[in-house]
Structure 1
């Protein structure tokens, strides 16, 4: 049985995400350790916010991600007006580059580059290099 037949996931419904996923746990830890912020204090969106074939890690062709970035994400970010935009992973970074959104390029929390501490070092380094304030939203 698929998610649509089971109804909404209570965790996703209450928090807007599946808190038990390793990627989300790592992202939450990084937001806390690097910015001192929780998920509730930042605006998080997805370059490709639609249901896709396959599993959660299934590939989305860059042309499809770029199209949704241009049609949806660019407008979404213009409405939200974040003080800082973080591009997590290569696909989101390529799309943000294509649609002209300035961002700090960071490894995706699911990237296999090491543990949370390794990610934290890279985040601090790249954010410092960008010379941006440590606030995510207006």
Structure 2
């Protein structure tokens, strides 16, 4: 079975899944945000199944945000390209990997719309649940050279599923060997949002990831 078909099957499994109090993407505006065979809508803009680079964000959207007026750009692209976090991510990819966002495969760890605003926290057990059912299976299907976690919560959720202890972001640079899933190196970089972009040595994390390509 092809990679695309296996990802589509995983997307169908996600649509049948539920994890209260979170909601499915199809529950908003007649399902306008969930019309593709991807595990999360972010993949619409970055779906190279044979890319050496997978990008794993923490979560795609919140119920308050999706419940507002329909955003056609977000429905069409799976993202809002001009948001600072996306601009910063694109800049990091160009500078450190020599790649555009659309040259990668992008997904999110958490595959539901969390209640509240985009800044709402997600229980760690729920992140781990999605790591086991969706993030790690995507890595195993696509087999990229590196899977880059945006933020330490995403990284730790996958580590927890793999029976690895949690780490602090500042300690991740001191790991002698990356976590490996099959032949994929799992690495962490600071989130490209406002907080992560202020970390003085953020580029070191990206350089470390690039060295594994």
Normalized against structure 1, the TM-score is what? 0.78
**Aligned mates of 1:16, 1:107 — CA distance in 2:** 22
2:92 to 30, 46, 50: 30
**Higher strand content, 1 or 2:** 2
Aligned pair 1:123/2:186, yes or no?
no
**Is 1:57 matched up with 2:108?**
no
* Bigger Rg over Cα: 2
User: How many residue pairs align between the two structures?
Assistant: 129
Unmatched runs of 5 consecutive residues or more in structure 2: 1-63, 163-180
Structure 1 residues not aligned, in runs of 5+? 134-138
- Alignment match, 2:161: 99
Q: Is the 8 A contact 2:188 2:205 kept in 1?
A: no
Structure 1 residues 127 and 56, CA gap change in structure 2 (3 angstroms): same
Instruction: Map 1:77-116 onto structure 2 (within 5 A).
Output: 77-100=139-162, 101=181, 102-110=185-193, 112-115=195-198
Superposed CA RMSD in Å reads: 2.5
> Does the 8 Å contact 1:93/1:105 carry over to 2?
yes
Q: CA deviation at 1:121?
A: 4.3
Alpha-carbon distance, 1:17 to partner: 1.1
Structure showing the higher helix proportion among its residues = 1
1:3 is the counterpart of 2:66: yes
TM-score by length of 2: 0.53
